[in-house]
Structure formats: C-alpha cells, structure tokens
Amino acid sequence: MRIGVIGAGALGLYYGALLQRGGHDVHFLMRRDFQAVSSKGLEVISPQGNFHLADVRAYRNSREIGPVDLVLVGLKAYANEQLVELTRPLVAPGTTILTLQNGLGNEEVLATAFDRKQIVGGVAFLCCNRGEPGTVHHLDQGSIRIAEFFGGLSPRVEQLAATFSQTGIPCEACADLTRIRWEKLVWNIPFNGLCALTGLPTDRLLSCPETRQLITALMQEVIDAANRQGLSQAIEAPAFIERMLQVTAGMEAYRPSMMIDRQQAAPLELDAIYRIPLERAAEAGTPMTRVAMLHALLEATESSKL
C-alpha cells in the first residue's frame, strides 16, 4: 500500500515507521526531522524492540508525494487551517483519508474538500514522544480504533484494521465514530488540560486525592455529555472511569501532548479537545461546567503568552 503521512510528529513517525517496516511504501511530510531523517534515517526506541529505518522517503512539500492509497493524518488539530491544502495533492478518487487527530471536528474539515465516503476517523491510544531529530520514543500503549465518517462497520475499515494489525499496530474496526471519539475525550479532557496547567505528569495528579477526585468528576461530565450524542451504545461510566484510571496509572510519569506543547511554547489543541465538545454538549442539553472552567483557564493562560 502506498501511504502518505501528513503531520510527522511522534504519532505520525511511530505509526509510519511500523507501516514501512511492515513492507508498505510510506512517504512522510516532515519539517523538524527532515534533515536528520534524510541523512541518517529514522530511529524508533520502544519497549517492544528498537529498530532503525535507514531509507526513509521524507518530503518538505506534499505536492512532491503525489496520490496515495492511504493518507494518514497526524497533524495537530490547531493547524487544521492547513489540513486541506496539505492533503489535496495526495488524494485520488480511490484514496482513503484516515485522521487520527485529537478531539472533534477534524473529519468535518476534510469533508469540506473531499468526498465524505473517502474519510475514516480514528483515535490512537499511544504514549509516544519525539526525541532528538530523527528519533521517536515509544513509551507505552499504541492501539488504534477506526470507523467510517459516514457511519457503519464497513469492509474497508475491517481491511484497514487488519493491515495495521499485521504491521504490529493493534487496530480495531468500529461502527460508531462518535462513540470512540468521545471515549478518547474522557481521557484527553482531564489529563491534557490539568497536566498542561499544573506542569505535573499523570502520576502526580493521580497520587493527590484532590486532583484524582477532580479527574473523576471531569470524566463523569464528559461521559454524561457523550451519552447524549446519539451513541449506538451508552458508555458505562463507573467501569470506564476505573479502566481509564488504571491504564493511566500504568503509564507512570507520563507527560501528555498538551503538556509538552505548553512546555515548548507551542499552541494547544483547545478547539478540538475543548471548545467543540463543549458546544456539542450544550446543544444536547448537558453543559459541562467543570470542563468549561478548565477550558477557560487554559485559554487565559494561553492568551498570557501573547
């Protein structure tokens, strides 16, 4: 399969590297890592085994890549004003566009320019950070869940899930994209925001009874709003929250992407992870008051950098 990776940060580099190692023809759109990868290849450090790709097809301009079978989008959602322009040169009538971006609204951006039947959405449960240029550190997790933007469990997503799984990326084909996106928000909203605000990794927040209680309350708000979004099956709050807390405890001192972005003075994905979910929750009659406060604090501290 010919694959184009748009947004070769930690997620794009890691999944793209596994797909290339699995025999696929992968092409990476890169900025920061372009020189290092072009000269010395790509190094993946992982508890599942380190590996090095000596020959990596890296590009500065997506027009140089041309049409592909699969576009894998790992671009940060705050850069979505560039998403269509970056993706367009890679898309032919038979191309599938898979966005693994955080939050809500990403598929809708793509649907403004491309056939919605070409669009697949997904969520990645991945602990992964970039190291020095040309190196990506996989810390934990790595599974993906994907679903059609237009709904239903299709042979296409089942085949795509099988392809990913064959390359060492555990991937599940699902029928309800809205449900899997809100399930990821149950984790993203409390941990990304609180870690970015406090500068504390996940284990410190979980070890403090007050912040652990706040995390649980935020998760409950998100689940209450999610269950008003017309899901195919409701999210069972107590069991799901307990599972999220246990999984996070296993990550130890993990720094979520929004915490790293703030430490590096990069923009935050506030629209996709907070503003749009808050709007959809309000439209469904379930305003998320704690989430709104967290969003307001992130906006205020983001504005203070200007």
Amino acid (one-letter) located at 174:
C
- Which helix (H) or strand (E) is 294 found in, with range? helix 289-303
The whole-angstrom separation of Cα 293 and Cα 8 is 32
pLDDT band at 131 (very low <50, low <70, confident <90, very high): confident
Q: Could you read off the pLDDT of 252-270 as tens digits, one per residue?
A: 999 999 999 999 999 999 9
Residue 73 scores a pLDDT above 90 = yes
Query: Of these residues, 40, 76, 117, 184, which one is catalytic?
Result: 184
Q: Where does a domain end: 123, 145, 175? A: 175
Same-domain status, 130 and 197: no
Please answer whether residues 123 and 181 qualify as being in contact, where contact means their C-beta atoms are separated by less than 8 angstroms: yes
More confident site: 304 or 98: 98
- Whole-number average pLDDT of the chain: 96
pLDDT score of 113? 97
Same-domain status, 270 and 206: yes
pLDDT band at 152 (very low <50, low <70, confident <90, very high): confident
DSSP string, 180-191: HHHHHHHHHHHH
Same-domain status, 60 and 198: no
pLDDT score of 168? 95
Same-domain status, 253 and 272: yes
| Span 198-220, average pLDDT | 98
pLDDT score of 305? 55
Please answer whether residues 192 and 255 qualify as being in contact, where contact means their C-beta atoms are separated by less than 8 angstroms: no
Residue 59 is part of which domain span?
2-175
Q: Could you read off the pLDDT of 160-182 as tens digits, one per residue?
A: 999 999 999 999 999 999 999 99
pLDDT band at 151 (very low <50, low <70, confident <90, very high): confident
pLDDT score of 292? 98
Spatial neighbors of 129 by CB under 8 A, at least 6 apart, are 10, 136, 137, 139, 255, 260
| Span 297-304, average pLDDT | 87
User: How many percent of the chain have pLDDT more than 90?
Assistant: 94
| Span 98-109, average pLDDT | 97
pLDDT score of 158? 98
Same-domain status, 87 and 104: yes
pLDDT band at 64 (very low <50, low <70, confident <90, very high): very high
| Span 229-251, average pLDDT | 96
Name the pTM for this structure: 0.95
Same-domain status, 283 and 215: yes
User: How many percent of the chain have pLDDT more than 70?
Assistant: 99
Same-domain status, 41 and 82: yes
pLDDT score of 8? 86
Same-domain status, 213 and 103: no
Same-domain status, 39 and 157: yes
Active site residue 305: no
Q: Could you read off the pLDDT of 27-46 as tens digits, one per residue?
A: 999 988 999 999 999 999 99
